[in-house]
Amino acid sequence: SYARTESELLKEIVGDVLQKLTPTYQNQLKGLVGIEDNYEEIESLLKIGSTEVITIGIWGMGGIGKTTLATTLYARLSPRFEGCCFLKNVRENSSSHNGLEALHNKLFAKLLEIENHCFDMNFVRRKLKHKKVLIVLDDVDTLQQLEYLVEDYDLLGPGSRVIVTTRNKQIFSLVDEVYEVKKLSSDQSLQLFCLTVFGEKQPKHGYEDLSRSVVSYCKGVPLALKVMGASLRRRSEEVWESELRKLQKIPNMQIHNILKLSYDGLDRSQKNIFLDIACLLKGENKNSVTSLLEACGFFAVSGIEVLLDKALITISNYNSIEMHDLIQQMGQEIVYQESIKDPGRRSRLWKHDEVYEVLKYNKGTDDVEGII
């Protein structure tokens, strides 16, 4: 019989559309390395076949690839939903006057596919109640932002999904699952760096050791690999060597500024705890560090928890406080900028030659708070 049910026809149309969209998705994966490993794990958490409304948090340090992963998920999954919206840079865009309200209106206007941004929530409830939607909120910084943008998950139709990317784990009281983005392996890092700087997956002849040195500096952070690759593209070996020497003393400022956003969101006590760890206490026992900092008048018990939630530090299996090398360099640069020429005017001293100079020639001032 040539007669087909409406559901069979719909399935055929959807299958045809997905088949045509697959090459587009493959094009978007070009130049991305390691994304499939993360994608497969998070897709299982999303339980796409379920009619539940599920919210997933994607968490990790700055530059680790949260937005890239969310963009990949959105590109691949959006054809399966009746309405979709990807709100970029929520942290930045909500900081302007009425910024959060504008994002809220943009979100529901996109989901409801209407031009007019003036509508009440009763209208939204009626329209969205039976609509399966995909929402991505990129770089959410506070619980307030998340609550304002999606104030009631019951608004969303069965099978809807909300994906939230953040550096701040504290907002995840409102999500069902949390996924921590993994850093790239050494091989993946080399591949991503080479694609950026050479346009191919392997180092150019003569640049093998230099490439591995850059990869070692970046420690698996995709943003750092891309920034360094872009800055070294079409440069001579001599320039590469000079840049690598420079990185031992001065961080790449583009990487520094992106990582520093997490530091900027700390209060005064938390900033002091972070700088003490970055300059003086990395690798020390958590209990000892907590006791020491509490004795200094900092609120270390809660402060260390905040640093953990913001992916600025980690705790090892041996209960020592650890920190990614790039984040440590960011913290040390903040202290260095307190007084570029006079170490005796910085709050913390950790380089042996500078400590020796300050103590031998009595150059210390009241600004110095810690020495190792």
pLDDT at 195: 96
Is pLDDT at 121 greater than 90 in this prediction?
no
- Rounded to an integer, what is the distance from CA 44 to the centroid of its chain? 21
Q: Is the pLDDT of residue 18 over 70?
A: no
Strand, helix or coil at 351? coil
Query: Which among 35-44, 117-126, 266-275, 355-364 has the top mean pLDDT?
Result: 266-275
| CA pair distance 310, 168, nearest whole angstrom | 4
Q: Which two tokens stand for residue 205?
A: 């002849």
CATH for the stretch 6-180 = 3.40.50.300
Distance from C-alpha of 2 to C-alpha of 274, rounded to nearest angstrom: 70
Q: Please name the residues in contact with 178: beta carbons below 8 A apart, sequence gap of 6 or more.
A: 56, 57, 59, 169, 172
Position 114 confidence tier, pLDDT thresholds 50, 70, 90: confident
pTM for this entry = 0.88
Name the CA dihedral angle for 47, 49, 54, 59, rounded to a multiple of 10 degrees. Answer: 30
pLDDT tier for residue 113 given thresholds of 50, 70 and 90: confident
Strands (E), the chain: 54-59, 83-87, 133-137, 161-166, 177-180, 314-315, 321-322, 348-349, 370-371
Residue 262 — very low, low, confident or very high, per pLDDT cuts 50/70/90? very high
Q: Which residues contact 40 (CB under 8 A, 6 or more apart)?
A: none
Q: Quick one: average pLDDT of 29-46? A: 82
pLDDT digits (tens, 9 = 90+) for 158-207: 999 999 999 999 999 889 999 999 999 999 999 999 999 999 999 999 99
Q: Residue 40: pLDDT above 70? A: yes
The encoded tokens of residue 9 equal 């026809």
At residue 347, does pLDDT exceed 90? yes
Look at residue 363 in the predicted model and tell me its pLDDT: 86
% of residues, the chain, pLDDT over 70? 90
Give the per-residue pLDDT at 10: 53
The whole-angstrom separation of Cα 14 and Cα 335 is 57
pLDDT at residue 4 in the model? 55
* Span 293-338, pLDDT tens digits: 999 999 999 999 999 999 999 999 999 999 999 999 999 999 999 9
If pLDDT is split at 50, 70 and 90, which confidence band does 22 have? very low
Which residues does 41 contact at the CB level (< 8 Å), separation at least 6? 179
Mean pLDDT of 224-246: 97
Model confidence at 208: pLDDT above 90: yes
Written as one letter, the residue type at 4 is R
Domain boundaries, the chain: 6-180, 186-249, 257-337
| 101 vs 13, more confident | 101
How many other CB atoms are there within 10 angstroms of residue 204's CB atom? 14
Higher confidence at residue 158 or residue 121? 158
Query: Which of 110, 156, 162, 166 minimizes the C-alpha distance to 134?
Result: 162
CA 278 to chain CA mean position, Å: 19
> Distances in Å between the alpha carbon of 239 and those of 162, 244, 246?
45, 9, 10
**Mean per-residue pLDDT of the chain:** 90
Indicate the CATH number for domain 186-249: 1.10.8.430
How far is Cα of residue 58 from the mean position of the Cα atoms in its chain? 8
| Amino acid, res. 134 | L
CATH topology of domain 257-337: Arc Repressor Mutant, subunit A (1.10.10)
